[in-house]
Structure 1
Amino acid sequence: EVEDKSEKKRLKDVPIVRNFPEVFPEELPRLPPTRPVEFQIDLVPGAALVARAPYLLAP
């Protein structure tokens, strides 16, 4: 049987949440306000993906 981990771990059981209760309220007051500008990334159909490591780390 698969156990549901969401029932075992509660937000109040996480130490960092207990240390900063003003940052993690029990309930959110409302949805975020509507913004005048919406951002999006236009994709080019058929374009190849960039498959390259961003940095080489020194040994």
Structure 2
Amino acid sequence: ISRLPNFHDPSHGKEVRREEIPVVKEFLDIFPENLPGLPPIHQVEFQIVLIPGAAPVARTPYRLAPS
């Protein structure tokens, strides 16, 4: 929604302006009218390699600071 000034709402069959959406209307200063474009492509892409069949780690969180 923040990237499009207007979008089509199939449930109402009409085009909806971003100013008509209640949560966007409340925070219009956060949603820019136009975006400059996509972010640049980075040489290193972050990824997590998953091992097929491995069980997730099931441990309770621990406190970092002593209590």
TM-score normalized with structure 2 length: 0.46
Match of 2:35 in 1: 28
CA RMSD between the two structures: 3.2
Going by fraction, where is strand more abundant, 1 or 2?
A: 2
Q: How much does 1:8 deviate? A: 8.2
Stretches of 4+ moved more than 3 A in 1? Answer: 7-10, 50-55
User: Are residues 27 and 53 of structure 1, via their aligned partners in 2, closer, same or farther at CA, if it must alter by over 3 Å?
Assistant: farther
Q: Please, which runs of 5 or more residues in structure 1 have no aligned partner?
A: none
* Greater relative CO (CA pairs within 8 A, separation 6+): 2
The percentage of counterpart residues that share the same residue type is 52
Aligned length: 48
Q: Find the aligned partners of 2:60 and 2:17 in 1 and give their Cα distance.
A: 37
